[in-house]
């Protein structure tokens, strides 16, 4: 969370940028950050590589390395599914209450 002073400074920088190069500002506002398909491919690749390394490490008797790779694979899987759910609109927006109201 930004303080009031930091927000004012950020707004000042944004205004200066808009005055200096309006085409750049327009391009940044219409761009998809990050491109969802490209980012999903990175998580899928990370999941595959860490899964293979986890199995290989465990097969060779390196328990700690295997568990570390398995944790990375689990994180990548969870992140990938959360991103896909967010893209479908299945997750609540930031600040929304997710528990039943009285």
pLDDT tier for residue 12 given thresholds of 50, 70 and 90? confident
CB contact at 8 A, 76 and 46: yes
Q: Compute the distance between CA of residue 51 and CA of residue 2 in angstroms, rounded to an integer.
A: 38
pLDDT reading at 94 higher than 70: no
Give SS3 for 3.
coil
Look at residues 33, 28, 29, 74 and name the one whose alpha carbon lies nearest to residue 51: 74
Residue extents of the structural domains in the chain: 9-88
Neighbour-count burial of 26, counting CB atoms closer than 10 A to its CB (0-12 exposed, 13-18 middle, 19+ buried): exposed
Report pLDDT digits (tens) over 23-38: 887 887 777 665 566 6
pLDDT reading at 46 higher than 80: yes
């Amino acid at each position: 969370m930004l303080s009031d002073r930091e927000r004012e400074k950020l707004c000042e920088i944004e205004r200066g940028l808009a005055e200096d190069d309006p085409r750049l500002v327009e391009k940044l506002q219409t761009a998809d950050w990050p491109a969802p398909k490209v980012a999903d491919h990175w998580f899928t690749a990370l999941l595959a590589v860490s899964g293979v390394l986890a199995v290989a490490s465990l097969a060779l008797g390196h328990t700690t390395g295997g568990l570390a790779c398995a944790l990375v694979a689990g994180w990548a899987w969870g992140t990938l599914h959360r991103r896909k759910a967010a893209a479908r609109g299945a997750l609540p927006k930031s600040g929304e209450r997710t528990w039943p109201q009285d």
